[in-house]
């Protein structure tokens, strides 16, 4: 599992899908899995459960509306992964049904984030609809973004831009991801850095920590290690 991070996408080999489907009980979830296998659609790497076998990888499939928005989880081996991918770039949201004013705001947000030297990627319902062409979006769906930062100052700049563009519908949500893959919710980061919150939740591929140190992450922190 070396090198994999939360929110990365993986595509399985044909043999892996055969194994998964052979071990699945009949039901609504199987129809979803069969579609994923037939179309070669990706799965997402989640936080690995405590005590899980490090020789296998926990991956997820958030099903679309057609299959009841189930959250399916699979365990796969590293040799069953055919490739690694990433969620779509923010500019692809223009291809989804959005009000004209929101589409303009998303375009302006993408330009502002690019000026911060980060590539915004879309996950959640918007990201999965772009990846699969299936219906995920509901009126209350958030627009979830993944944004990479190489320092606390860079994270501050990103959070400031997100706050400046935070439209109400869809609600702008998501995570800032540091160099080792540990991530924080951008809204929580902004509150914490402003001193309005004593601790912040930091998500890693095998960890979930409440951090209170005001200087986290420091240049010597693993979160900023090259």
Domain boundary among 85, 119, 137: 85
* Nearest CA among 85, 90, 162, 143 for reference residue 121: 90
Residues 6+ apart with CB under 8 A from 13: 80, 81, 82
What is the predicted pLDDT for the residue at 224?
58
Residue positions annotated with a catalytic role = 142, 144
pTM for the model stands at 0.91
pLDDT for position 226: 40
Looking at residue 213, its pLDDT comes to: 77
**In this structure, are 107 and 160 located in the same domain?**
yes
pLDDT for the residue 2: 57
Q: By three-state DSSP, how is residue 85 classified?
A: strand
Q: Are residues 106 and 141 in the same domain?
A: yes
Q: Is residue 4 in a domain?
A: no
In this structure, are residues 22 and 30 in contact, taking their beta carbons and an 8 Å threshold? no
Which domain covers residue 200, as residue numbers?
Answer: 90-224
Q: What is the mean pLDDT of each run of 10 residues along the chain (226 residues)?
A: 84 96 80 96 93 86 94 94 96 85 88 91 96 93 94 94 86 93 95 93 92 73 55
3-class DSSP state for residue 202?
Answer: strand
57 shares a domain with 121: no
Q: Which residues pair with 209 in a beta bridge?
A: 202
Q: Are residues 119 and 209 in the same domain?
A: yes
Contact 33, 64 (CB under 8 A): no
């Amino acid at each position: 599992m070396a090198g994999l991070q939360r929110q990365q996408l993986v595509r399985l080999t044909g043999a892996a899908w055969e194994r998964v489907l052979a071990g699945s009980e009949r039901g609504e979830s199987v129809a979803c899995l069969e579609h994923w296998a037939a179309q070669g659609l990706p799965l997402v790497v989640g936080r690995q459960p405590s005590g899980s076998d490090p020789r296998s990888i926990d991956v997820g499939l958030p099903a679309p509306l057609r299959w009841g928005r189930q959250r399916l989880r699979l365990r796969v081996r590293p040799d069953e992964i055919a490739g690694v991918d990433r969620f779509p770039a923010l500019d692809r949201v223009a291809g989804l049904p959005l009000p004209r004013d929101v589409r303009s705001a998303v375009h302006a947000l993408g330009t502002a984030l690019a000026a911060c030297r980060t590539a915004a990627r879309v996950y959640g319902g918007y990201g999965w609809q772009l990846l699969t062409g299936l219906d995920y979006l509901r009126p209350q769906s958030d627009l979830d973004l993944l944004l990479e930062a190489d320092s606390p100052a860079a994270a501050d700049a990103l959070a400031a831009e997100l706050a400046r563009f935070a439209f109400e519908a869809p609600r702008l949500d998501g995570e800032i991801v540091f160099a080792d893959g540990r991530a924080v919710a951008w809204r929580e980061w902004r509150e914490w850095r402003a001193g309005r919150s004593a601790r912040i939740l930091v998500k890693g591929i095998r960890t979930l920590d409440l951090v209170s140190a005001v200087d986290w992450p420091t240049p010597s922190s693993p979160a900023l290690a090259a």
